[in-house]
Amino acid sequence: MVGGGEGAFIGGVHRIAARLDDRFDLVAGALASEPARAHRSAAALGLDPTRSYADFEVMAREEAARPDGIEVVSIVTPNHMHAPVATAFLRAGIHVICDKPMTRTLEEAEALAEEVRASNALFVLTHNYTGYAMVRQARAMVGAGQLGRIRVVQVEYPQDWLTEPVGTDGAKQAVWRTDPTRAGAAGSLGDIGTHAMNLASFVSGLEPREICAELTSFVPGRAVDDDVQMLIRYASGAKGMLWASQVSPGNENGLKLRIYGESAGLEWLQTAPDSLRVSPFGEPPYLLSRGGPGLTPEVAEMGRVPAGHPEGFLEAFGNLYSATADAILAHERGEPRPLGLLPGVADGLAGMRFISAALRSSQAGGVWTAL
């Protein structure tokens, strides 16, 4: 693991997700860029001190050289470090699991895509919401044509945690996530807007072609957007809206997706993730649940506990990790397309194109901009 030392949030999530299904052991890390903090964090996690690194490049080199070196690295640093770290490990032949957004800039993303292409190692991007069973079910139903041709795609991701200014005593992540030098020029756009866009694309299978974006920084002194409103034209002719906000009191992590086609609609909400509402036109809407009746065979097998015992965010994240373990084994067996439905570099690149286009659209005063 690179990043994820003391005080970090997402590193701990990745560690639990990796542990959940007992498919990974955490054995090495460059958990912080400051050596003392890195080693203190490593000790707290019980790492062998000889495998606690202060420098990710050293870690990549030395782990690659060990017979018992790591097979895969998780990158959970602030955004601006994703590209250099990923590059180092890919070049060392070590598989990469990278948090999103993939990089800080589109240029970095394109360069990283080249690195992935050139490497034999796998690259997985943790668009973790794609790991929910009912998101997979939604995707399968759209793919099977159960909604008919898609017309409307509505996605939103409201939060409220940045409603007020983040002081210098603010939470570590609030500080870096609102700092363009570390998070990139996009604030809520990069942090949660990309999740929303990725989810809409993952489930609908549609490619956004043009967007018209309104980015706003409502909190005085904030250097990045904290609210994103957007119209989207998909290549297929479908139309969509996207809203991401970090200043909407009463919303915790309200990621919600609604898709409407010629013959049916569906609705999914992260705060009740084990449920999927499906509404065929002219018939009563029905409710699918994880582990319940009416699922595709692949989705029916997802989950660790029976229907009605809620699974949540960590389980969805764990699904990506377990799928990554499967992908590594498939890769070792030489199977083509070992990643399956796992998000990868193409999704990361799409995300950075999306961010870039949104920034350009907004800066131009809200004009339709091609991705």
Residues 199-258 that bind a copy of itself (CB under 8 A): 212, 214, 216, 218, 227, 229-231, 233, 239-241, 243, 245, 247-254, 258
Q: Give residues with Cβ within 8 angstroms of 118, minimum separation 6.
A: 90
Which of 1/278 has CB closer to a copy of itself?
A: 278
How would you classify the pairing of strands 2-3 and 72-76?
parallel
Under the binding rule (CB under 8 A), the answer on residue 67 touching a copy of itself is: no
d(CA 1, CA 101): 17
- Kindly give, in sequence order, each residue whose CB lies less than 8 Å from that of residue 320, ignoring residues fewer than 6 positions away: 17, 124, 126, 128, 130, 131, 342, 343
DSSP state of 97: E
Provide, rounded to whole angstroms, the least separation between the CB of residue 86 and a copy of itself: 24
Q: Which of 167, 221, 282, 297 binds a copy of itself (CB under 8 A)?
A: 282
DSSP class per residue in 299-349: HHT--SS-TTS---HHHHHHHHHHHHHHHHHHHHTT-SSTTTT---HHHHH
Q: Which of 84, 180, 205, 294 binds a copy of itself (CB under 8 A)?
A: 294
Cα dihedral 68→73→78→83 (10° resolution): 110
Given a contact cutoff of 8 angstroms between Cβ atoms, the answer to whether 210 and 184 are in contact is no
Q: Is 170 in the site for a copy of itself (CB under 8 A)?
A: no
Per CB under 8 A, the segment of 8-16, 27-35, 72-80, 84-92 that binds a copy of itself is: 8-16
Q: Report, in Å, the least distance between residue 365 CB and a copy of itself.
A: 7
**Rounded-to-integer distance, Cα 243 and Cα 287, Å:** 25
State the minimum distance, in angstroms, from the CB of residue 310 to a copy of itself: 3
Closest distance to a copy of itself from the beta carbon of 138 (Å): 13
Q: Is 265 in the site for a copy of itself (CB under 8 A)?
A: yes
In the window 134-153, what residues touch a copy of itself (CB under 8 A)?
Answer: 151-152
For 159-237, where are the E strands, in sequence order? 208-216, 227-234
Asked if 270 interacts with a copy of itself (CB under 8 A), we say: yes
- H or E, element range at 138: helix 133-143
Contact flag: residue 260 with a copy of itself (CB under 8 A): yes
Per-residue x/- mask for a copy of itself, residues 19 to 48, rule CB under 8 A?
xxxx----------------------xx--
Query: What is the nearest approach in angstroms of a copy of itself to the Cβ of residue 309?
Result: 4
Q: Considering the rule CB under 8 A, would residue 121 count as an interface residue with a copy of itself?
A: no
What is the distance between the alpha carbons of residues 63 and 71, in angstroms, rounded to a whole number?
9
Name which position in 7, 35, 145, 312 contacts a copy of itself (CB under 8 A): 312
Position 361 contacts a copy of itself (CB under 8 A)? no
Shorter beta-carbon distance to a copy of itself: residue 123 or 129: 129
Contact 244, 156 (CB under 8 A): yes
The nearest distance, CB 136 to a copy of itself, in angstroms, is 16
- Considering the complex, state which of residue 155 and residue 185 has its C-beta at the smaller distance from a copy of itself: 155
CB of 298 to a copy of itself, least distance (A): 17
Which long-range contacts link 78-82 to residues 24+ away (Cβ below 8 Å)?
78/3, 78/176, 78/177, 78/182, 78/183, 79/103, 79/104, 79/182, 79/183, 79/184, 79/190, 80/104, 80/181, 80/182, 80/183, 80/184, 81/2, 81/3, 81/56, 82/108, 82/112
Instruction: For residue 284, state whether it binds a copy of itself (rule: CB under 8 A).
Output: yes
**What is the smallest separation between the CB atom of 202 and a copy of itself, expressed in angstroms?**
18
Within 10 Å of residue 141's Cβ, how many Cβ atoms? 23
How many residues lie near a copy of itself (CB under 8 A)? 89
Shortest distance (Å) from residue 329 CB to a copy of itself? 16
